[in-house]
Chains A and B, each alone.
Chain A
C-alpha cells in the first residue's frame, strides 16, 4: 500500500464519516461539524492528488531545487476550499443561533415548519 493509496483511503473514510453524521445526527451543530469533517476529507483528497514521491515544497528559490517538486495547483485549490469552508461554517453557525432564538430548539426533527 503506497503512501498515496493510504491517503486516498483515509480521505474517502473521512468523507464517509462526515456524510454519515450529516445523515444521522439530529442536532444541527453536530451536522455542521460533520460537514467540516467531510470538507477535511475532500481537502486531504485534493492534496494527495498533487503528491509526488519525495518531492520538495514547490517554492522557486535562486538555485534550482534538487529533486522533483510537488504539484502546487491542488494546494492552491485546497487553500480556497478551506477559506470557503470557513465562510460557510460561520454563516451556518449564525443561522443555527438565530434558529435557536426563534424555534427554541436546534433539533432537525422539531424544526419542520416548512413541509409539503
Chain B
C-alpha cells in the first residue's frame, strides 16, 4: 500500500500545487504550508514503506505489458534519500523563498521531480523505468529553467543532453525488448546469458550510456555545472544532492541486476580491457578533471557544482569495482555526499540570502556575522574533503582500499588527486566567504532565520553522527549488496571489520576528542588571551589603515595559473561539444538550402524524382 502512496502523493501534490499557483500569485503562506505537509507525508510514507520491500504493485497496461512497480533494498535506500532531501529543501525554502520570482511553480515542479525520481527507483521493468526517466528529465528541465534568464539558457543545455540520453535509452529498450522478448528486469536478466557478444555490447552501451550522461560522467559532464549553478540555490542543493545520483541508481541496477556478473565478465577482451575497466577509467577522469576545474571557479555555486561532477566519479568507480568493499564504498558515498553537499549549499544559500551574491572575490570575513552558517560550512567541507571524523572519510576509505587491494594503483592515485584538489578548493570556498576581513557593505548582515537554520543543524548532526557511527547506514548498505548479488561487507556499528584491515571510527573519533582535550589543556596553560578585531594586524612595518581592506581572495591558487594556464578553462571536451553543435548547424544550413525557392529547380526535383524512382525500381527487382 505504501509503495502505491509513494507515487500518488507526489502526483497529487504536483497537480494541486500547479493548479494553486496557476490561479493565485499571492497565497505564499498557504502554498508553503501545503508543500511542507505534502513533503512530510511523502517522507513518512517512504519510511513506512520498508515493510513492503519485495512486493510488486501493477501499473497500467501498455503495449501488452503490465507496468510493475515495487520496492527493493536499493530503491528503499534511494527513496529515503530522495524524500529526506526534498523535505529539507522545502523546510529551507520556507525561509528562503520570497514573494514572486520563481515562487509560483517552485513547489509544483518539486513535487513533479519527486514523482519522477521515486517512479524511476520504484519501477521494476525497463518500460516503467523509461517512462518515469523521461518524466524525471523533463521535470528537471522545468525546475531548472525557473530562475534567472541565464538559468533558462543553461537549462536548455541540460535539456539537449537529457533528450539525447532519453533517446539512447529508448533505443536500448526497443533493442532489449526485441532481443529478450519482455520488459521485466528479471526476465531480461535470465535471457542475458544467452546473448552473443555483439548484442551484449550493444545492450550494455545503450543502457549504460544514458546513465553516464545523467550522472555527468567525464566526457558527458559539460551540462551539469552551468545548469546547476545558475538555478535558484535551494534547487541547486536539491539537484546536486540526489538528482544526478539517479543515474548511478540506473548504473547499479543495469550492471548488477539486469546485465549481471556473468555478462560483465564476458564483456572483456583480454585481462585489461573490460567493461569494468572502461567504467573505472571514465570514473577516474570524472574524479580528477572537474576537481581541477573547480579550483579555477570564482562563484561558490559553480565551484560546488563542479564538485558534484567530481564526486560522482568516486561513486562510479566504487560501483564499477564490483568488489564488496568498492560497491559498499560507492553506495555509502552516495549517502555521505548527499548529506554534506546539501549542508554546504544551504550555508552558501544562507550567505546569498543575506549578502545577495555568491561571488567569491567580493565576500570575506562573514564569520563574525554568520557564525552558524560558518560552522555548518566547516562541517560540510570537512565531510567533502573526507577528513575524519566526518562521514565522507569512511566512504572514501572504503573506495581507496578496494582500489589499492583490487590492483588499480593509478586509479587510487586519481582518487587521491581528486581528494587533494577538493581540499584545496573547499578551503578557498570557506576562506573567501567567511575568513579574512569583512567588507563594509556587509556590516549589517545578520544570521538567517529559524527555518533556514533547522536543515543546517540537522545535516550537521547527520554528517557527524554517521561519521562516528557509520554502521547506522553501512548496515543497510550491506543488505543492498546482498540484494545486488555482491558479497556483503562485514560491518559493525563503529566501522568496518574487513579482512585485510579494520576501520573503527569510534576509536578514531574518541582519540581525536582526547587529543583535543589535551590541546585545550595546553592552551589553558598559556596566559590570558586578548581578543582583537579583524583590522588589528601585523603588517611587517607596512602602515595599515582601516579604510583599505586586504583580502587575498582573487586568484587564490596562482601557482596553478602558471602550471595549467588556460587548459582547464577551455578543455578539449568543450571544444568537442562546440564542434558537434557547429556540425549540426552546418548540416541544417545544407538541408535548408535544398529549398532554393526557384520554381524551375522545384520542377526539376519532381522530374528527377520520377526518373530516380524508375531506376531504383528497375534496380530493385
Contact = CB atoms under 8 A, between A and B. Distances in A.
A42 B592 CA distance: 35
A21 to B, nearest CB: 11
Interface stretch (B7-15, B270-278, B573-581, B593-601): B593-601
Contact of A23 (B592, B595, B597, B603): B603
B193 interface: no
B276 to A, nearest CB: 50
B604 interface: yes
Nearest to A31: B599
A116 B598 contact: no
B600 A112 contact: no
Interface residues of A, number: 16
Contacts of B597: 112-116
A113 B598 CA distance: 10
A116 B607 contact: no
A114 B592 CA distance: 12
A23 to B, nearest CB: 6
B593 A24 contact: no
Interface in A64-116: 108-109, 111-116
Nearest to A22: B603
Contacts of B592: 116
B600 A26 contact: yes
Contacts of B598: 108-109, 112, 115
Interface in A10-40: 19, 22-26, 28, 31
Nearest to B596: A115
Chain B interface SS verdict (over half): helix
A31 B600 CA distance: 9
Contact of B600 (A23, A113, A116): A23
Contacts of B607: 19, 23
Contact of A116 (B593, B603, B604): B593
Contacts of A108: 598-600
A115 B604 CA distance: 16
A31 B596 CA distance: 18
Interface string B159-175: 00000000000000000
Contacts of A25: 600
Contacts of A114: 597
Contact of A24 (B595, B596, B600): B600
Contacts of B604: 23
Nearest to B599: A108
Contacts of A113: 597
Interface string B596-615: 11111001100100000000
A111 B599 CA distance: 9
A84 B599 CA distance: 22
Nearest to B593: A116
Contacts of B595: 115-116
A67 to B, nearest CB: 39
B440 to A, nearest CB: 57
B586 to A, nearest CB: 14
B591 to A, nearest CB: 10
A75 to B, nearest CB: 27
Contacts of B593: 116
Nearest to B589: A116
A19 B593 CA distance: 24
Contacts of A28: 599
Interface string B278-291: 00000000000000
A14 B607 CA distance: 16
Q: A26, A28, A108, A114 — which one has the most chain B CB atoms within 10 A of its CB?
A: A108
A102 to B, nearest CB: 16
Contacts of A24: 600
B582 to A, nearest CB: 18
Contacts of B599: 28, 31, 108, 111
Contacts of A23: 600, 603-604, 607
Contacts of B600: 22-26, 108
Nearest to A112: B597
A33 to B, nearest CB: 15
Nearest to A116: B592
Contacts of B603: 19, 22-23
Nearest to A111: B599
A28 B599 CA distance: 9
A113 B604 CA distance: 19
Interface in B74-128: none
A92 to B, nearest CB: 12
Contacts of A31: 599
A109 B383 CA distance: 71
Residue of B592, B593, B597 most packed against chain A (CB within 10 A): B597
A112 B599 CA distance: 9
Interface of A: 19, 22-26, 28, 31, 108-109, 111-116
Interface of B: 592-593, 595-600, 603-604, 607
Given A112-B597, A116-B596, 19 more contacts: A19-B603, A19-B607, A22-B600, A23-B600, A23-B604, A24-B600, A26-B600, A28-B599, A31-B599, A108-B600, A109-B598, A111-B599, A112-B596, A115-B595, A115-B596, A115-B598, A116-B592, A116-B593, A116-B597
7 contacts: A19-B603, A19-B607, A23-B604, A111-B599, A112-B596, A115-B596, A116-B593
- Going nearest first, the 6 A-B pairs with the smallest beta carbon separation are A115-B597, A112-B597, A108-B599, A116-B592, A22-B603, A23-B603
